[in-house]
Amino acid sequence: MLATDTIALLEAATYTGLLVWVSITLVLTAVYCIEVLAAVFLPKRQIQCSEARVPMVVLIPAHNEEAGLADTLKASQKGLYPGDRILVVADNCSDDTAAVAFRNGAEVIERTDPDRRGKGYALDFGVRHLETNPPNCVVILDADCVPEASALDRIRRVALHRDRPAQARYLMTESQDNIAQKVSVFMFRLKNWIRPLGGFNLGGPSLLTGSGMAFPWNVLARANLAHGHLVEDMKLGFDLASAGKSPIFCNEAIILSPLPQSLDGATTQRSRWVRGHLSLMRTALKRLPRLIAMRKFSAVALALSILVPPLTILVFLQGVAVVSALIVTALLKLPFFPLGLALGAMVAFLITTLAAWWKYGRDLIPVRDLLGLVAHLLVRFAKYPMAVFKPKRSGWARTERDTDRSHK
């Protein structure tokens, strides 16, 4: 009798644990699906912006960017108005970044601190420099990005009208015509365009995605920037949302940056983002109960978005849930409800991603390339653990640019 009770208890515990695991996967998948489907099917909301045009500073942190910085500066200058200026922070540079910036009409400050490397430290250095004569608005732009003509002015006016950060549509462009690059570009569209647009269509906030970010001075001056977090942009957006200044997505402003051609550059970039995202997920999970208790629903929405892991990991979690549910229900002859939930989550993910591709990705990946896409994703999935969990590198792990290779 005791043995029977023990077995029944173990079966109940196993079934409950499985149900919890499947439910977590289902919730994460649901957040992703809601964001994407809102971008696919809901009408695009119009965003209001200030008619007034007040002075802004375009703040560009640059670490050894001499090769491509001139293009960024020339494109940025086309979007400036009288009273605007560009400030380049040449951070721990061993090349001619500062000289290139100066020759192309930017104000330049240099920072040398080998023990504190990272974009966050460079941004903090630039903001502290601006305190002596603060602008009304600061736009942060990466040194390899090209803003479209009206992008900087657009996010400036949105940020000032809403008194909160504004995030432009920051996208990657192909540097090579192959399926690997196409997949990476589409993944960026999902992360930096489709999901933020869906959140905006639902009336929610946006994560900051690293470049093309406009801040009212009073918001940025109080932000905690001086740290070396691997995804300092996402952390900044979440911190500001927790403080009541949730970023807003500005779909009309477009910032473009080329993907790195080199495999090492792409792998380094992906590994850094994934490890940083996983770290920030822990922070979001810890804050979530307090944010719910304080009824800070914009920050709660961002926390839920952050808790959706990188899509390769999400697919892995779905696969584990399906296999676990299949094994447990088959061996223990338990109800198939968890298996149905796990399969439902996987099917919903696939349908949602196909809907996103149909509306936002067919120009990039035509129907004839779908088989190649599946093969590439399988190879990428197999290599994923090695790329993400290799030994960590501290400091500013700058992504290798194509221009670096051409100057060697």
> Could you give the CA distance from residue 382 to residue 362 in angstroms, rounded to a whole number?
25
Is 43 exposed, middle or buried (CB count within 10 Å of its CB: 0-12, 13-18, 19+)? exposed
Q: What is the mean pLDDT of residues 97-115?
A: 96
pLDDT band with cut points at 50, 70 and 90 for residue 403:
low
pLDDT score of 384: 62
**SS3 helix, strand, coil % of the chain, rounded to 5?**
55, 10, 30
Exposure letters 46-58 (e unless 16+ CB within 10 A, then b)? ebebeeebbbbbb
Neighbours of 390 (CB within 10 A): 12
Is 203 strand, coil or helix? coil
pLDDT band with cut points at 50, 70 and 90 for residue 187:
very high
Q: What is the mean pLDDT of residues 118-129?
A: 96
215-243, pLDDT tens digit by residue?
Answer: 999 999 999 998 888 888 999 999 999 99
> Could you give the CA distance from residue 253 to residue 168 in angstroms, rounded to a whole number?
5
> Could you give the CA distance from residue 141 to residue 354 in angstroms, rounded to a whole number?
32
Q: What is the mean pLDDT of residues 279-300?
A: 95
Is 66 exposed, middle or buried (CB count within 10 Å of its CB: 0-12, 13-18, 19+)? buried
Helix axes 179-189, 370-388, angle to 10 degrees: 80
Please, are residues 36 and 356 in contact by the beta-carbon 8 Å criterion?
yes
pLDDT score of 396: 53
Is 309 strand, coil or helix? coil
Beta strands in 238-344 (DSSP E): 248-258
Residue 379 has pLDDT above 80, yes or no: no
For 128, residues 6+ apart whose C-beta sits below 8 A from its C-beta are none
CA distances 210 to 39, 104, 149, 185, 407, Å, are 21, 23, 19, 16, 26
176 or 346: which carries more pLDDT confidence? 346
pLDDT band with cut points at 50, 70 and 90 for residue 330:
confident
> Could you give the CA distance from residue 190 to residue 336 in angstroms, rounded to a whole number?
33
pLDDT score of 127: 98
Give 391's DSSP letter.
Answer: P
Residue 404 has pLDDT above 90, yes or no: no
Q: What is the mean pLDDT of residues 253-263?
A: 86
> Could you give the CA distance from residue 134 to residue 220 in angstroms, rounded to a whole number?
11
Which of 275-279, 304-308, 384-388 has the highest mean predicted lDDT (pLDDT)?
A: 304-308
393 or 282: which carries more pLDDT confidence? 282
pLDDT score of 274: 86
Is 227 strand, coil or helix? coil
> Could you give the CA distance from residue 280 to residue 234 in angstroms, rounded to a whole number?
8
> φ, ψ for residue 246 (rounded to 5)?
-70, 135
> Could you give the CA distance from residue 115 to residue 123 in angstroms, rounded to a whole number?
16
pLDDT score of 9: 80
> φ, ψ for residue 157 (rounded to 5)?
-70, -30
Q: Which amino acid is at 19?
A: L
pLDDT band with cut points at 50, 70 and 90 for residue 370:
confident
> Could you give the CA distance from residue 250 to residue 185 in angstroms, rounded to a whole number?
19
pLDDT score of 406: 46
Please, are residues 253 and 170 in contact by the beta-carbon 8 Å criterion?
no
> Length of the chain in residues, anyone?
408
Percentage of the chain beyond pLDDT 90 is 69
Please, are residues 255 and 148 in contact by the beta-carbon 8 Å criterion?
yes
pLDDT score of 407: 47
Distance from the first to the final alpha carbon of the chain: 77
C-alpha 103: how far from chain center: 32
Q: How many contiguous H segments (helices) and E segments (strands) does the chain have?
A: 15, 8
> Could you give the CA distance from residue 29 to residue 341 in angstroms, rounded to a whole number?
11
148-174, pLDDT tens digit by residue?
Answer: 989 999 999 999 999 999 999 999 998
Q: Nearest CA to 280 among 303, 311, 298?
A: 303
3-51, pLDDT tens digit by residue?
Answer: 676 777 877 788 888 899 999 999 999 999 999 999 999 998 888 887 8
> Could you give the CA distance from residue 233 to residue 394 in angstroms, rounded to a whole number?
17
pLDDT score of 178: 82
